[in-house]
Structure 1
């Protein structure tokens, strides 16, 4: 009889899944091939991209470059096979060679390698710099390489760098010493080194530091934007973005300007912004039109707001005469852009209600028009090649599809897959699509939401609700394949998953995101609770008596606010979440934006500091909570976790604290990720139970 019941449960569980499909596991998620950002050849015929084949053993991971023709006539093929892993691929102007960064053989630091795809053969090492090299770019004529390296400011050459590194290593003491702000960033103490630009002729051994000895790098607030360096069209100079006021971050907004430095040597010339290093509009991503007559760049306008949406500025080159701005409708956030080969139009990727869509604008400026809105998912990594006609590629992903390389139709009629590394694996998994819905909150704002149904979904069943809150706050939940908070892995035990783009998200444009200022926790949390009510009203299969909420970073902040303001949730999960606004202001790696968000400095004790600080609500703490932190997190330092834990213990709230000694703001290593997900799933199962296929599987196993 027991065998018969076991068989019934097994058959019932299997019948709830689509034919041949099963519930996702951490192994499925972690071992899924991870396609990186592509580079398109100037002639538009090929795309090259890195792909990580992950492993639970770091030394067994493989990260190689793959090549695919953009017409889709052939499948992708692997073109490198090094254990060190390759990154940052860049094409030469004739579309024959590719430069990339890799750590091979006896390399102590990553170096630049060049492979000739036209002739074949092995990649040749092009640099031997002791401080390592990254982000290569061929000069217009193809004989030189531009790359970046992090060096001591006083070093004039690589011999200086080696000497200074040896002196530092032989010091009889170890100390971090500072005379200005900031001192930390994400998970590292700032060590005084700077990112510099190097130019080297291919075939020669030594690169030349274009910034060594300049007055710009002596500015206390100097910081080079690592993704910004571009050759000028004539190959005689390099244009880049850099800040010169980072040292003022404790009391002022900071910004980056565009600069031009001659390859032959000399002081960089500022192209944007005021003479003095005061905060102004912030510039990034300079890019030239194919004919070299126009310079485009992303600009984030200066205002009294914590958030402003990006625009694209258009300049005549080399005169730098301002020709206008390109913006997205309703001030939506610009994610990426690419210039057509003829220079007459610009394609733009922009955020919209959980997706990233494709827009197009005239090069003269104006509001871009939507040309491509996929039914599901989002685009990223926009690239355009081709001589006369444009060939446009990107990566595409959705909540059910890991990123792949695609070719976009030039008329905006969707895309064609060029790679399919993960498709066979995801086809075996039961991955319900994200469903969007909207409601209007009590303040009259339209709130976007997505709902993920559990695997083996049966409309006759009742399912618990897991409310997941995104970080930022200036970001959005996207219809995307997520590694750190994977929607389907979190709902795998039989939960309906709710993803809300609360006020402050970038999903509905600039004004919607700015509306959070002065209301950093209460307003967004009210939207979270209202969204849960709306989901329960709309979806009869949701069990209103079983709800939990979880989030990381700003989502963790919201979880801690919910701890002090509601008992509607059976449990909470808080990762890297602040519990004390005041402690966060003084210990995070950035502070001034928090001050502006709160309406003034801490000591003035304005309304936000007094009324929207979770620790002040500790008398209300009741809800069981799992608290997790990375000990190397400097964005939300672990002191906030310890303070929260102490308050929970003082209030005798059922809770569990997990601190990962080697992790930072995120849980990134394979073993820790698997353990994190297991602890999250165990915590949810304790308070929500398991339903559907997950419950049947457990019952079957217990027999």
Structure 2
């Protein structure tokens, strides 16, 4: 029998991603998205697929051609699908497709595109989100660049670049006439959430504070579609997201946080009585993070954040991040919360119920499977596989599983990590180890597929990845423990993991260790090479090196630095104390620096400073700059750059380890 092939970076061109399942109200029709990378066009292709869950062996592709087709949403009667597509140009618009066949019909033609289609319950209208430019802006001419006038602190974002005088607004289009009407206007941002069951109102999110540069709360508003009058329902109690209306129209389900611990605060489930205005936190005492906070490098367009009401209007489903898993939970308005699907190792990154209480479609990834769809019978717990989209690839390609590790920190915290052993490790006497560090820091590694880890395992490396303090999934105290202590106990947690795994697995060559990470993981990689020489090579990605300059150059710098380091510019000593640049003279580890030119989250000047300082002190360093890429390079950047990034990482480790 022929041996299986080993995974390489370019295999991502062959692998398919399945995301955003949407179950119809009839309980058996399901739409989902398949996404692939296109090597020749150097872009992504996403298409809608249909599956009848009563006949899962049969699937039907609904969209074709180039471009991306995303966010499919069933009409209330199940006869039509609204979706987002850039098929006619580079701007996303809303289209509608009949399940009886025929071509998709374009519904919107907004200059800056349209997204987030939401059907009115009577099926006559679709609300959508669009970017609307401020009135009286000068006409843009790409051949005549104009100065950018800035008067706000929130003037750029890693996702959108420099703010150009536009705002997020909500429109609604009449299906029969094709007429569009704006529900919101003015120099404010409004974010569409859901319709009321009686078709009369829309729930939206907005921050209408006068000083938005120092405001970080989104309130929930109810907008009367006819009069366009809005009422603030939450009045600054907390910052909310992901609003969903109960089927009986009496209640809103919300995800929100009082931000007691700034961006390290756990998200909670709330309900809002629409008529009395009573706001209730259902999970106040629950020490679990609501939502999917897993970090990986494979899926795009995953969408599973809001609570999903059942038809009884008193129960619902939601996801929570818990000890390296995302778990599907069942909840009630009385405050009962218990798992609806709890398995030993899985990452649920998509869920849809169609409004029922007895079944759900779940998208699940594991360390050895990028992801597939399953039909869950909630009552019996029985799970039926609906897709196996990468079966052919994995029948001929080897993949390495991950072992879960449990160990203790120096000061007694329970810690979790994973070890992937290299492919065919039993044939080697000793094998090197790469330590991977996630970003955030308030995300978590999990029981999910990460292509980068598989590439390294195929190259003959063991891969250790862990959740040090600051990670989600282990309670409020744990996720908050990193704030004000970057490079302290979090660094010790990672070194403890290394010590533990060297004792746990005698096959690891303790003299051949490497380390890498991105964003916060890049900060920690920079910190590690300035505080220990035990690693033979390191790769720092989209990193932070200097908290003093980060304060003013990052799109989030002025508040993130305060929240995370607990230091302002009047405390230069503290900011410098936590800056890896301060320890550059100690670095003896060969360091590869990977950074995107358009990264506004951790701007490239952070890499430039570290690189120049290293070279000035005659250290072994190499700097790779990725054009036309931002902070999301490893997850959604140009496919060719994603491939080159993986090659740079493995080649650097191959050279020095």
- SS of residue matched to 2:35: strand
Which residue among 224, 229, 232 is the counterpart of 1:267?
229
CA contact (8 A) 1:181 1:247 kept: no
Range that drifts further, 511-520 or 665-674: 665-674
Deviation of 1:83 after TM superposition, in Å, equals 2.3
Map of 1:530-541 to 2, 5 A cutoff? 530-541=496-507
Map of 1:357-396 to 2, 5 A cutoff? 357-366=327-336, 368-385=337-354, 390-396=358-364
CA distance in 2, matches of 1:255, 1:636: 23
CA contact (8 A) 1:331 1:511 kept: no
The change in CA–CA distance for 1:412 and 1:246 in structure 2 (over 3 A counts) is farther
Deviation of 1:376 after TM superposition, in Å, equals 2.3
Deviations 1:42-64 (A, max 9, x none): 22221111211322122775321
Deviation of 1:166 after TM superposition, in Å, equals 7.4
Which residue among 38, 47, 65 is the counterpart of 2:30?
47
CA distance in 2, matches of 1:305, 1:63: 36
1:297 paired with 2:254, answer yes
CA contact (8 A) 1:579 1:640 kept: yes
Deviation of 1:600 after TM superposition, in Å, equals 2.9
Q: CA RMSD in A?
A: 2.2
CA distance in 1, matches of 2:467, 2:520: 13
Other-structure match for 1:151:
132
Deviation of 1:172 after TM superposition, in Å, equals 5.0
CA contact (8 A) 1:39 1:49 kept: yes
Other-structure match for 1:134:
115
CA contact (8 A) 1:128 1:206 kept: no
Deviation of 1:433 after TM superposition, in Å, equals 1.4
Map of 1:321-470 to 2, 5 A cutoff? 321-326=278-283, 329-335=286-292, 336=305, 337-366=307-336, 368-385=337-354, 390-411=358-379, 413=381, 415-458=383-426, 461-470=429-438
Other-structure match for 1:233:
197
The change in CA–CA distance for 1:26 and 1:165 in structure 2 (over 3 A counts) is farther
Deviation of 1:75 after TM superposition, in Å, equals 2.4
Deviation of 1:171 after TM superposition, in Å, equals 9.2
Which residue among 254, 273, 284 is the counterpart of 2:216?
254
Deviations 1:533-562 (A, max 9, x none): 100001111111110100011100000001
CA contact (8 A) 2:543 2:602 kept: yes
Range that drifts further, 652-661 or 32-41: 32-41
Other-structure match for 2:154:
182
CA contact (8 A) 2:223 2:230 kept: yes
The change in CA–CA distance for 1:83 and 1:510 in structure 2 (over 3 A counts) is same
Other-structure match for 1:81:
64
**Where does structure 2 lack aligned partners over 5 or more consecutive residues?**
293-304
Deviation of 1:322 after TM superposition, in Å, equals 2.7
Q: What TM-score, normalized by structure 1, do the two folds share?
A: 0.87
Other-structure match for 2:97:
115
- SS of residue matched to 2:425: coil
CA contact (8 A) 1:556 1:578 kept: yes
Deviation of 1:240 after TM superposition, in Å, equals 1.0
Other-structure match for 2:645:
676
CA distance in 2, matches of 1:327, 1:72: 42
- SS of residue matched to 2:483: coil
- SS of residue matched to 2:623: strand
CA contact (8 A) 2:548 2:576 kept: no
Other-structure match for 1:599:
566
CA contact (8 A) 1:576 1:629 kept: yes
CA contact (8 A) 1:576 1:641 kept: yes
Deviations 1:488-528 (A, max 9, x none): 11222111100010010013122100111110222211111
Deviation of 1:675 after TM superposition, in Å, equals 1.4
Deviation of 1:104 after TM superposition, in Å, equals 3.0
Other-structure match for 1:473:
441
The structure that has the greater radius of gyration is 1
**Where does structure 1 lack aligned partners over 5 or more consecutive residues?**
1-13, 155-163, 275-279, 689-703
1:664 paired with 2:630, answer yes
Deviation of 1:386 after TM superposition, in Å, equals 5.2
Map of 1:21-60 to 2, 5 A cutoff? 21-58=4-41
Deviations 1:362-396 (A, max 9, x none): 22225x22342223221122211256x53211211
Deviation of 1:27 after TM superposition, in Å, equals 2.2
CA distance in 2, matches of 1:56, 1:124: 29
CA contact (8 A) 1:548 1:684 kept: yes
1:581 paired with 2:547, answer yes
- SS of residue matched to 1:404: strand
- SS of residue matched to 2:392: helix
CA distance in 1, matches of 2:368, 2:285: 27
Deviation of 1:679 after TM superposition, in Å, equals 1.3
CA contact (8 A) 1:299 1:310 kept: yes
Deviations 1:330-352 (A, max 9, x none): 23343333222222322221112
- SS of residue matched to 1:466: strand
Deviation of 1:599 after TM superposition, in Å, equals 2.4
CA contact (8 A) 2:206 2:218 kept: yes
CA contact (8 A) 1:230 1:286 kept: yes
CA distance in 2, matches of 1:353, 1:398: 14
The change in CA–CA distance for 1:99 and 1:305 in structure 2 (over 3 A counts) is closer
CA distance in 2, matches of 1:85, 1:620: 48
Deviation of 1:448 after TM superposition, in Å, equals 0.5
CA distance in 2, matches of 1:414, 1:642: 53
Q: What TM-score, normalized by structure 2, do the two folds share?
A: 0.93
The change in CA–CA distance for 1:174 and 1:453 in structure 2 (over 3 A counts) is same
Other-structure match for 2:299:
none
The change in CA–CA distance for 1:439 and 1:193 in structure 2 (over 3 A counts) is same
CA distance in 1, matches of 2:330, 2:137: 48
1:206 paired with 2:179, answer yes
CA distance in 1, matches of 2:317, 2:402: 26
CA distance in 1, matches of 2:377, 2:538: 44
Question: Which structure: greater helix fraction?
Answer: 1
Deviation of 1:265 after TM superposition, in Å, equals 3.5
CA contact (8 A) 2:373 2:385 kept: yes
